[in-house]
Structure 1
Amino acid sequence: MSGTTFTTHTSYTSHALHATLVTPFDPGTGAVLLDELTAMARRLADASARSSVPLVPIINAEAGEIYTLSREERTANLEAVVGAGLGPVVGGVVGRTTAEAVEVAKEAVAAGAQALFVLPPFGSGDITTSWDPVRYPRVVSEYTGRIADAVGDVPLVIHPSGPRSPAYGIGWPLETVRAVIGRAPTVAGWKMTYSYEGYRRVARYLRAHAPQVAVLPSSAVRYHENLANRQLDGACSGSFCYALDPMVEHIELWRKGEVSAATDLWLDGLAELHEYVYSDYARLHIRYKVAAWLAGEISSPLMRDPMPEPERAEADRLCALLTGAGLAARDAAEVDAFFAAHVHA
């Protein structure tokens, strides 16, 4: 990344660029590789020190496979990154029950998280695939509110995903946004999981009625448009795991008013890389991880069952796109050897 400004970001702000870090696993044992997780967080901290925009890791997010991690592993992940003393850390929170989510939140704060990333509850179709968020927003407003009640003034970043709708995509509608923010006044950031039109609608609502809540786009493929629309306060994405430097540079160029240079960077391979990663949301998180592996950030792209395995054609395409964006990538021999040893498909 260009520039020589060094900044120390020591306290959490929801206007940061949040990197939802993938969780590295040993390909043989499946154990979490805490040294690799900490190394990713250290690289993020180094980039933050060179940037005018703070970068913050989210540990145990959806991209970090929180749903397959035990509570002990989640705590160990947080303690390892917090213990490295790299700056603010955000901890993921989810539970099979609201009571469990509250306990997970308390554990994350005790482990040193300065903010919490609240994922939606999971379980029965009543509160997931069949849930009607317009009629029944209390499902998540009370869940979030009880977490907020339990952790005091700790800021919350919300991951608002639910049943798909024509107006919002997989993001929660305005009725639910209002209910959650009204119930939990410590909500400080909103991950924008929306369709293009839904994104604009919710961003405008937050600007007008909840300006204390940062607009944090998730799909890096739309960051150029989000910046042009002035609807990007920070970010919340797993794409920082594979394209950290050019993504930060692109955002900084926009914020300096160097739109032509930002556009040149965007069109010089970065947009095409993101377009492929986000072209199939059924493969989104495995593509985050494969791309991070190809970029040398982790030693294995494998996810825990029942998450999907990597595909060789996918790896080849990502390798070409990383190279096209000016990023380093593993050579074909390394990819061949890994797939032969560890991938069953």
Structure 2
Amino acid sequence: MKTVGDHLYVATLLPYDQHMKIDEAAYRRFLRHFLDNERFVKMGGGLCINPEAGEIFYLTRAEKRRVLEIAQEENNGKVPLIAGTWALTTEETIETAKDCKALGVDGIFVTPPGGAQDVTSCWDADAYPEIWLDQIIAQDRVVDLPIVTHPVGGAKPPFYPGLPIGATLRICREVPNIVGWKMTYMYDGFRLIAKGLRSLDRHVAVMGALASRWHEYKATGMFDGTLSGFWNFAVEPMMDHLDAWDRNDIVTARAIWDGGLSELQDYVADMARLHIRYKTATWLAGLIPNPFMRAPMPKPSRVEIETLHRLLSRVGVPVIDIADTRKVA
């Protein structure tokens, strides 16, 4: 049975004005880019508000709430909408989850704790799953909503940068409200985690994240939905590709993939520049006013701008004039 996890969620970006404040008008226009796309809606599209791509790590609680208010006003129930709950302390994370429920989300999007090395870069999730599990349970108790996870941690290959298999399965078994697992992994880790999720006694959606591997994942059948920032800048060619797979038209799917989509997604998928390239590509596509992210996130380089401009053009995404990009880098 399909759940809240079985949808094509956009990890939505957040545009800022020249003073690095939330540009509410630009954000509304950006959300309409998806909500007014009837094909995206019919394919099972959804919105994830306040994800990492939306810079949740650099927003105040009040800003997160305002962003979600705007999204709910624009969405008005048209597509499933889930929202991030991350905050620096567990106490504020729980309060943010309460805000999400009060604003009527369809589910919450949970991310592991931030801060000290014990709970971030040095965290051994198989040995100490409670570091995140306890926080998920605390949120679950107060909101009782479907949960989609964003598993990131200090796992070694093949599970980097997600959670290892032991912790993944334990968390899913102990929290029945978990309906989707964002697949943050490289290919080998993805295969192991997807098979593990399929072994559970209930359905937990395998949700594609890095679109640079969707061609392979669709071929394996390990693909129930998405939670991805790649949708922000290339919705039309990405829908064409998935639609071809859904029709079992492998020739067309391969032609789209080999015709430039794979090259674009591979370039964006550099983990050290992922979110910078998301936002830069979305700006180049004319969907937001600028590519800037709040510090300490850096500005894009000139090489990134020119490369993304070329790759977007190749797959048929309308782009702004390259001359208009020189004011940025």
TM-score (norm 2): 0.95
In the alignment, the residues of structure 1 paired with residue 221 and residue 15 of structure 2 have an alpha-carbon distance, to the nearest angstrom, of 34
Measured against aligned partners, the alpha-carbon deviations of 1:68-89 in whole angstroms (never above 9, x if no partner) come to 1111111111100101224332
Would you say how many aligned residue pairs link Structure 1 and Structure 2? Answer: 326
Q: 1:322 aligns with which of 301, 312, 321?
A: 312
Deviation, structure 1 residue 252: 1.5
Q: 2:282 aligns with which of 287, 292, 312?
A: 292
Deviation, structure 1 residue 113: 1.6
Name the structure 2 match of 1:4.
none
1:301 aligns with 2:291: yes
1:251 aligns with 2:242: yes
Give 1:91-240 correspondences, 5 Å limit.
91-152=83-144, 154-240=145-231
In the alignment, the residues of structure 2 paired with residue 160 and residue 277 of structure 1 have an alpha-carbon distance, to the nearest angstrom, of 20
Counterpart contact for 1:12–1:88, Cα < 8 Å? no
Deviation, structure 1 residue 266: 1.1
Counterpart contact for 1:114–1:155, Cα < 8 Å? yes
Give 1:7-86 correspondences, 5 Å limit.
13-26=4-17, 28-49=18-39, 52-84=42-74, 85=76, 86=78
In the alignment, the residues of structure 2 paired with residue 181 and residue 37 of structure 1 have an alpha-carbon distance, to the nearest angstrom, of 34
Deviation, structure 1 residue 52: 4.1
In the alignment, the residues of structure 1 paired with residue 263 and residue 50 of structure 2 have an alpha-carbon distance, to the nearest angstrom, of 28
Seq. identity, %: 35
In the alignment, the residues of structure 2 paired with residue 47 and residue 202 of structure 1 have an alpha-carbon distance, to the nearest angstrom, of 32
Counterpart contact for 1:79–1:112, Cα < 8 Å? no
Deviation, structure 1 residue 320: 0.3
Q: 1:71 to 1:156 in 2, by over 3 A?
A: same
Q: 1:24 to 1:229 in 2, by over 3 A?
A: same
Q: 1:48 to 1:169 in 2, by over 3 A?
A: farther
In the alignment, the residues of structure 1 paired with residue 223 and residue 283 of structure 2 have an alpha-carbon distance, to the nearest angstrom, of 28
In the alignment, the residues of structure 2 paired with residue 168 and residue 267 of structure 1 have an alpha-carbon distance, to the nearest angstrom, of 27
Structure 2: gaps (5+ residues): none
Q: 1:210 to 1:177 in 2, by over 3 A?
A: farther
Measured against aligned partners, the alpha-carbon deviations of 1:104-156 in whole angstroms (never above 9, x if no partner) come to 1010111222111111110100000111111111111111111111111x111
In the alignment, the residues of structure 1 paired with residue 238 and residue 260 of structure 2 have an alpha-carbon distance, to the nearest angstrom, of 11
Counterpart contact for 2:155–2:164, Cα < 8 Å? no
Counterpart contact for 1:48–1:55, Cα < 8 Å? no
Q: Secondary structure at the match of 1:56?
A: strand
Q: Secondary structure at the match of 2:52?
A: coil
More moved, 164-173 vs 128-137: 164-173
Q: 1:57 to 1:135 in 2, by over 3 A?
A: same
In the alignment, the residues of structure 2 paired with residue 271 and residue 227 of structure 1 have an alpha-carbon distance, to the nearest angstrom, of 14
Name the structure 1 match of 2:259.
268
In the alignment, the residues of structure 1 paired with residue 34 and residue 252 of structure 2 have an alpha-carbon distance, to the nearest angstrom, of 23
CA RMSD of aligned residues (A): 1.5
Structure 1: gaps (5+ residues): 1-10
Measured against aligned partners, the alpha-carbon deviations of 1:158-196 in whole angstroms (never above 9, x if no partner) come to 000001412211110111112211221100100001121
In the alignment, the residues of structure 2 paired with residue 171 and residue 44 of structure 1 have an alpha-carbon distance, to the nearest angstrom, of 28
More moved, 165-174 vs 43-52: 43-52
Counterpart contact for 1:188–1:214, Cα < 8 Å? yes
In the alignment, the residues of structure 1 paired with residue 178 and residue 257 of structure 2 have an alpha-carbon distance, to the nearest angstrom, of 31
In the alignment, the residues of structure 1 paired with residue 185 and residue 4 of structure 2 have an alpha-carbon distance, to the nearest angstrom, of 22
Counterpart contact for 2:41–2:79, Cα < 8 Å? no
Q: 1:48 to 1:33 in 2, by over 3 A?
A: same
Q: 1:115 to 1:158 in 2, by over 3 A?
A: same
Counterpart contact for 1:47–1:245, Cα < 8 Å? no
In the alignment, the residues of structure 2 paired with residue 249 and residue 58 of structure 1 have an alpha-carbon distance, to the nearest angstrom, of 21
Deviation, structure 1 residue 332: 1.7
In the alignment, the residues of structure 2 paired with residue 48 and residue 316 of structure 1 have an alpha-carbon distance, to the nearest angstrom, of 31
